């Protein structure tokens, strides 16, 4: 890993303010109370690709909607598919039932089954009746391709790494850039990876929080837009990386403590796509673009004590729901920018080099445009 990633600032640390709503105290998905994030980063070897052996530039990232037993206390969730060129698992049952019952895992494309096995192992360890005296469990794993930097055929992210990411998950500050599932990702022709941000609503409207975590791996250099400035076009010739085509994927996870069920959460998830568009995304043909939203304000018991549940539910009209939509747009946009700002240059297989977004040049462009 390049140590540059540790020293690189987030957008707000250099004075770049995106949107109107204020962030939470960490400006991260973990500003939603009890949400936890864990990473396992896998880096090994250099030089020529030897399929199955390396070099390795990959990892696993997990998001836990809360710290209790998710299988016993499920949360409402919904998925919006912006472009379906992806290989996630668990999405059919999510769409049918509208609940999430395992941690949400992000990883490399060909590692999805192995990471799903880790989620299954975790669920069985904490619920030994699964598949015996109670129902089966639905692991949720999403992916992006890290094939340009990583030995993807090696499927190096495995069950034990998913379990370790869950064990390490915390509700504190979230690492960004070249960590976890973001280790081998590209974003607008620069090094990409993990980014996060949050927005908080006014206290008189409940003080709800919307947090976003993005696994960014999409876009052509020329498409990159930051705060309305065509940064990518202006940096078109700066150390080109990889293909000029719009290839890759993006996974957006939106969390909120506003009491929403799956139908309203799907509406919220759609707004995440607008946040991606603000950064220049066109959801290209070969891109797997998925936005997952959940609320941890509502718990759905695995074994309800009564046939009818009475649940809190936010009224979907007026300023409050509009501000939640705005929060989703702004948090997603800033999470993408943070992924770019925080990711450092990394060399992967066959000497492929993913250069970090050049901050000095980028900040100069933003200053000249009056954004700083």
Q: What is the pLDDT of residue 5?
A: 42
Q: What is the pLDDT of residue 3?
A: 41
- Of the residues 249, 257, 262, 295, only one is catalytic, namely 249
Q: Classify 16-367 by CATH class.
A: alpha beta
User: Which H or E run contains 265?
Assistant: helix 262-278
- The 8-class DSSP code of residue 9 comes to P
Average pLDDT over residues 300-326: 94
Is residue 317 among the annotated active site residues? Answer: no
Q: What is the pLDDT of residue 178?
A: 97
Q: Does the structure show a pLDDT above 80 at 287? A: yes
- Report the greatest alpha carbon distance in the chain: 65
- Of the residues 108, 145, 281, 287, only one is catalytic, namely 287
Q: What is the pLDDT of residue 247?
A: 67
The count of C-alpha atoms lying within 13 angstroms of the C-alpha of 192, restricted to the half-sphere facing its C-beta, is: 29
Q: Where are the domains of the chain?
A: 16-367
Is residue 249 among the annotated active site residues? Answer: yes
Q: What is the pLDDT of residue 358?
A: 96
Residue 365 CA to residue 355 CA, distance in Å, equals 18
**Residues 220-272: pLDDT tens digits?**
999 999 999 999 999 988 876 655 555 679 999 999 999 999 999 999 999 99
Q: Are 241 and 353 in contact (CB under 8 A)?
A: yes
pLDDT band at 317 (very low <50, low <70, confident <90, very high): confident
**Residues 270-283: pLDDT tens digits?**
999 999 999 999 99
Q: What is the pLDDT of residue 246?
A: 59
Is residue 289 among the annotated active site residues? Answer: yes
Percentage of residues in the chain having pLDDT higher than 90: 93
Q: What is the pLDDT of residue 163?
A: 98
Residue given tokens 């990583």 in the structure block: 150
**Residues 168-222: pLDDT tens digits?**
999 999 999 999 999 999 999 999 999 999 999 999 999 999 999 999 999 999 9
Q: Does the structure show a pLDDT above 50 at 1? A: no
Q: Does the structure show a pLDDT above 70 at 316? A: yes
**Residues 70-126: pLDDT tens digits?**
999 999 999 999 999 999 999 999 999 999 999 999 999 999 999 999 999 999 999
Q: Are 158 and 115 in contact (CB under 8 A)?
A: yes
Average pLDDT over residues 316-336: 96
Q: Does the structure show a pLDDT above 70 at 6? A: no
Between helices 319-342 and 262-278, what is the axis angle to 10°?
50
- Of the residues 146, 151, 262, 289, only one is catalytic, namely 289
Token pair of 198, please?
Answer: 């949050």
Distances (CA, A) of 67 to 31, 33, 161, 171: 14, 10, 19, 9
Residue 195 CA to residue 174 CA, distance in Å, equals 9
Backbone dihedral region for residue 345 (phi beyond 0: left; psi -120 to 50: alpha; all else: beta):
beta
**DSSP-derived 3-state class of residue 309:** coil
First to last CA, the chain: 30
Average pLDDT over residues 54-69: 98
User: Which H or E run contains 362?
Assistant: helix 359-368
């Amino acid at each position: 890993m390049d140590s540059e990633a540790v020293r690189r600032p987030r957008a707000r640390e250099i004075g770049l303010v995106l949107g109107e709503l204020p962030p939470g105290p960490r400006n991260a998905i973990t500003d939603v109370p009890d949400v936890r994030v864990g990473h396992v980063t896998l880096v090994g070897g250099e030089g020529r690709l030897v399929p199955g052996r390396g070099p390795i530039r990959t990892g696993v990232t997990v998001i836990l909607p809360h710290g209790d037993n998710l299988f016993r206390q499920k949360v409402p969730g919904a998925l919006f598919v912006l472009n379906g060129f992806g290989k996630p698992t668990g999405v059919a049952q999510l769409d049918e039932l509208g609940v999430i019952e395992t941690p949400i895992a992000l990883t490399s494309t060909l590692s999805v089954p192995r990471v799903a096995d880790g989620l299954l192992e975790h669920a069985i360890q904490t619920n030994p009746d699964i598949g015996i005296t109670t129902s089966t469990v639905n692991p949720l794993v999403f992916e992006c391709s890290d094939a340009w930097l990583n030995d993807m055929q090696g499927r190096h992210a495995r069950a034990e790494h998913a379990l370790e990411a869950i064990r390490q998950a915390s509700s504190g500050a979230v690492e960004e850039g070249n960590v976890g599932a973001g280790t081998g990702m590209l974003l607008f022709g620069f090094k990409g990876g993990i980014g996060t941000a949050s927005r908080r609503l006014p206290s008189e409207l409940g003080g709800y929080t919307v947090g976003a975590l993005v696994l960014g791996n999409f876009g052509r250099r020329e498409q990159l837009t930051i705060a309305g400035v065509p940064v990518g076009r202006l940096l078109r010739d700066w150390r080109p990386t990889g293909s000029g085509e719009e290839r890759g994927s993006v996974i957006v996870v939106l969390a909120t403590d506003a009491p929403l069920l799956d139908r309203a959460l799907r509406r919220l998830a759609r707004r995440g796509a607008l946040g991606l568009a603000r950064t220049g995304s066109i959801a290209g043909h070969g891109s797997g673009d998925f936005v997952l939203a959940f609320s941890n304000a509502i718990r759905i018991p695995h074994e309800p004590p009564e046939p009818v549940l009475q649940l809190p539910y936010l009224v979907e009209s007026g300023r409050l729901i509009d501000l939640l939509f705005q929060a989703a747009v702004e948090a997603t946009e800033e999470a993408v920018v943070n992924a770019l700002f925080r990711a450092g240059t990394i060399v992967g297989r066959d000497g492929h080099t993913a250069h970090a977004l050049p901050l000095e040049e980028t900040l100069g462009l933003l200053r000249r445009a009056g954004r700083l």
